[in-house]
Structure 1
Amino acid sequence: MKEKVYSESELLRMIMENSKDWQMFLSPEGGIQYISPGATEITGYSVNEFMKDAGLVEEIIYGEDLRIYELLKYESSSSGSQAQKDIRIICKSGDVRWTNQYRKPVYSGEGNLIGTVVVIKDITSIKEDLEKLSLFSEIVEQSTEAVTVMDSAGNIEYCNYALMEITGFTLSELKKIRVFDYIHNPETEKQFPGLGSVLIDGTVWRGQNRFRKKDGTCYYLDSVVFPLKNNAGKITNYVKISRDITDLKRFEEELRESEAKNKAILNLQPDLIFILDKEQRFSDYFVNDVEALAFSPREFLGKKVQDIFSEDMASKFNKYYTKAFATGEMTQFEYELLLKERVQYYEARIIPFGEDKIMAIVRNMTEKREQEQELLKLKKLESVGVLAGGIAHDFNNVLAGAVGNIELASMELDPGHPAFGYLERANKGLLRASSLTKQLLTFAKGGDPVIGVHDVKEILRESVLFNLTGSSVKPVFSLAGDLWMVKADKGQIEQVFGNLTLNAKQAMPDGGKLYISASNLSGLPPALNNENTSTGKYIKIVFKDEGKGIPPEYLDTVFDPYFSTKKEGTGLGLATVFSIIKKHGGSIKADSCPGGGAVFTLCLPAEVFGDEEYSDLNRKEESSLEGLKILVMDDEEYIRKVLTSMLSLLGILVDTAENGNETFDLYRKSVEQGTPYAAVIMDLTIPGGMGGKETLERLLPLDPDIKAVVTSGYSNDPVMANYKDYGFSGCLIKPFTLDSLQRMLVSLFKGDP
């Protein structure tokens, strides 16, 4: 039988009809002249559907790829040559498929466009394979585990970034390393046992090894090495996947080293740790000091909570124990135990671990509770301090008027007059009351000493005798005859001596002797040195009692706030003493022999005068003040009157003002008239108006050389302690005597022509 001979056009049609590709021939106008069955296989639409609606070809283009499709048509038509793009289409089923679309215009021999050939291939599976390959490559590259690919000779062909990051080598440097080098090195064989069989026999090798980085430091890898074989079973490559376990190795080493430390720390930490099972039975414990346990181990180990504690305590424990197991989270509660006639406060944290165990961490909170109570006490004292400051200020104002008027009244009487003695004693009592107000100010803010030069012998005697009044304790004084003057705030030093006297008095409830000695001291003994003292002139004062003494373990804490061994003690007396001495640039030390009494040795800065200087200090110089004109500002009328009378007795002319504005006007007029006041004495605080500080700020531009004296009943105010820093030339603490007023003014004008 003779075979049929097909024409080229018939053969071409047969190929196109049986091809899986979608093939079309479009007219110059874009109409479909031919479409192959491959269109149906790719899109799901029939040939007839495409032939009836030529626009369907564009309608099924994926929205985001329409721009690419238009670009494909443009490139093909404008260049007159073939063009192709990867474009997604939407199939009739709704699936999105990737296609490679090829377009080529066809021209006649005369160069006229006959039509366009379009060939569309389904490349969805290729795209998916490429994506998977890209994803795999990205995973390998981004993996934290080092991946190395070697050829059959052991030469590195590829490694990911992780290996370069671990080793510090670049890929080109790593390619110079041959794994086979490890096989023939006896030392390396010890490190890599069995690696040779992997490279030769093609088995899998696993192991952990130490290497050196490029910088010479060591690192550890946990690796697996396996071969890759071709279809013929021949090894073509080796793959090594390694995990950096340097931190793990270091952690394991540190863990081994710290086990002993942790155990020691566990034994040293203050908490009590108990292990209990699900039935609330004690199975183990860890404590630093067995004495800290409320019960001995044999009394609680193996027993349940309810077997040891009270019903209320066991019920409370069960509540939080059950909650911890139910939530898997820590619970916490507090409880009290009466031990050795003293209530102990505890905090318990219940922590579940494992399947049926809990850890109870118990901390003794007794000391913290006591500290909180002391802190509350401190806050109450601070509140008292605010009140005390106001009371002391107002009380000293009243005292200033009373002291001044009594002193003025005394001066009108002959010393032999019967009333003279009463007035003198009343005045001393009022001055003693002033000392008590200064002790009130200890609780108020401020507290910087207002330094003056005083006779320490007089202050010592008066303070000690006053505080021992009505006591069975007898003072024994031993004061050097040539004792220097002390540089101190008189009120604060009186408080120091008073507190030390009261401390001795409380130490000898049945009576005894209190020995007080004072002597001059050049320099400072090493045992008394502290950061505030320096070599110079000091007065050494010693208080020694005949009480029971201070136990050695308390000597370093006697000056701590709220430390007291006495039931009636507040723990503030010696703390206040220490604070005042420190602010004065002095030093204090406590010594004792149990049963031999307590000894407090303190040193205070001294002022040393020659005989002539000492005489000058005590000499009254009324004549040097006569004729001066002074302006007095105080909101209290009785203070203005007392100051006017005292200044008048000194031969001084006086003008008074009630507030800052009035003071400014009077001083401004005196300056304008060319007769400025020789000095101005101003109260620091004027309720509802300008006080001394604010008024001086306005006066200084008028008269930069003004001599201003600040006065106040609130001696702890920073302005009083550091008056020169605020532009004042002197200060006067209320209440004051005529003598202290005169001394201040003499000092103020000393050296003036």
Structure 2
Amino acid sequence: MCPFKQSTDINELKEVIEELVESREKYRNIAEMAALGLMIVQNKKITFVNQWLADLLEYSVEEIMTWDLDRANQQVNPDDLSLIQMDQEKDFPNMKFRLMSKTGIKYWVRQYSEKIHINGKIADQIIILNISDQINAELKLKHTAKKFREIFEFAPVGILTCDNQGQILTSNNRLLKILGSDSHEKTKQINLLNFPPLKKIGFSQKLAECIQKKIEINAETEYVSKWGIKSYVQYKLVPLVDENGKTYEILCNINDITHIKQAQDDLRAKDLLFQKMFNLAPFPIMIISVIGSVKFLNQKIMDMLKLTDIENLEIDDLISMSEILVQDQFLTRENFKERWNEVLSVIKYQDYKTELTFQGNDISPIQLFCTISLIENQILFIFEDLTAKRQIEKEWLQTQKLESLNILAGGIAHDFNNILVGIVGNISLLQMSEGLDEETKSCLADLEKATNRARGLTSQLLTFSKGGKPIKKVGNLADLMEQTLQLVTPGSNCKIKYKKPANTFWADMDASQIQQVFNNLIINAMQAMPRGGNISITIEKFDSAPISTMPRTSNGYAQISISDEGQGIPKEYANRVFEPYFTTKDTGNGLGLASSYSIIRNHQGYIKFDSQLGQGTTFYVYIPLTKINLNIPLSSNENFKNYKKRALIIDDDVIVCKTMQKMLQKFGIKSDVEHDGFSAINRYEQALKTGIPYDFTIIDLTIPGSIGGKEIIQRLIVSDPNVQALVSSGFSHNPIMANYQEYGFKDVLVKPYNLSEIQVKLKNLFTK
């Protein structure tokens, strides 16, 4: 159906109809041409309907002319019918309702009714206007207003408007919550230009600026409600300007950003915390972007690279600042790109891990384990310092190599020392014989030198075995160095530069073992300079631990340095210097430095070296110091004393027993021999019962096929609590040799021994 333009001048139409009421033809023409619906009802029968209304209802005029009023009411929307029927009883007043077409289309219409006379009879003339567009527009406007009101009220930000005097006009619920207000009416009483809390935080001044300058303003501020609740708000002021350029209203959006501020503060605090943690971390940490720009370096890596600023720093710049060795290849700007692309392809799926060696300016090489991770387009590098770990592994490997010789070296040393007891002892006895010619004396002297060399070899072998455990007494390292130099340097073409320090360096040590270390290192320096040169020796106090894995002692360490001017140690041999049987010399057995390493380790010390090719080598020995100031003589040159004593010798080796008996006779001591532990105990106890006890006994620590020194002394103490016993062994794998007093022994006698050593032990035993 066609929409028709509504006519609004109803009164004019009425006048026309009244004038033409007598003329049916003219009335019909006007009714048909009118853009509204016309219908006449007389005696509840429809007597006239125009085409416009018929088209609206989608019926023909002829069909409608057959309707009565009840049938016509069927075209009224059922919800509106009761209202129509009520109003019909009131002589058809002005009504608004919905008509339905034949196909169910609903139209909002306005109906005007009045009484007219046709042929002298009263009829109802009904005028119907289609007001659907108007009603729909009103409904749409109402819906839009409701929608915008809901948006206004439920907006996540506070919204208010005020006039150009600062008086609040409107406000939403969110604004009340932000301001801590409980009523819109109370809020509207606030003048934004004069309200003290708003003036205090600068809001009023910003509002005045917005009104006067007609500019938008964005700002943040802290706001405290009347209940003392502190919050942070972000607001925007927008001026509304009329056609005359005057601000008539201000729109203000206010957003509570307290949670954002708190999150920012928390994030800043976390950033500071993580930055502090990273800087305090004992290992280097680096963060870069995916394109290689350096974003963060912690203090450890800044110190390594000697950097103070990372602005505009790229990762490949770091390559040029130091030498970095990865998989036996030095990184350069040229080969770095290829490796970097490899890293980027891996870290998309998993962490990339590798080992590298870092060589910075003026620092020793640092071995690092690097883990590279991709985190939110940032690449995190964490470096673990493996230097100490690798040093420990190196020492462990060295220890394992030494341990592999324990059983072999100990067994050989034990048996060889028993043999040497007979040789050394008998040589010393022969040298005391009267009437020896010069040739014999010379031969005995050469034999003594040879046996001393053999004795030194067994001492070195013992160092590799558990039998190398030091038998410690307090001594002065400076005195010991001086005595060593007197023995080693005569006849050498090297010049010794050593000034005995004024301070004493007391250490709890096995003097013979430490002297062996000094001897080995000095001889090693001499051999490094076959044409002669300077050997510099110093002894200094060293307060800190020489390496991080060693404890710091209260008394510190003695640092003994022995330097030569030889050719130095090639890098390829650096890791094998302390390896048993490794030597680059034509002569030598490769045990000197290895035994020195083991001796110093057993003294809870440390030994290392620095070497430069063509410039020489320096060995550093660190030995823990003690505060006990004692001076124990190393030997005695007194004449033989007649002790008139009686001794029991307990040893499985016949030669050892015979030699010991001969040497004891020189001191007026008669002795008996037992080769079995059980027999020795019986003999000792029998002597006690007869009233002729032994004055002392010398007990071998190990007796194959029988009980040894530990079990023998335990049983003898039961029989004789005052037993005077010396423990003897050529292989002190048992802690008894180092801690003899705890087991009941008075002293130790280390094989092989000579008359002078026997003399010292007897003096210590019988001097009160």
Larger Rg: 2
TM-score, normalised to structure 1's length?
0.49
TM-score, normalised to structure 2's length?
0.48
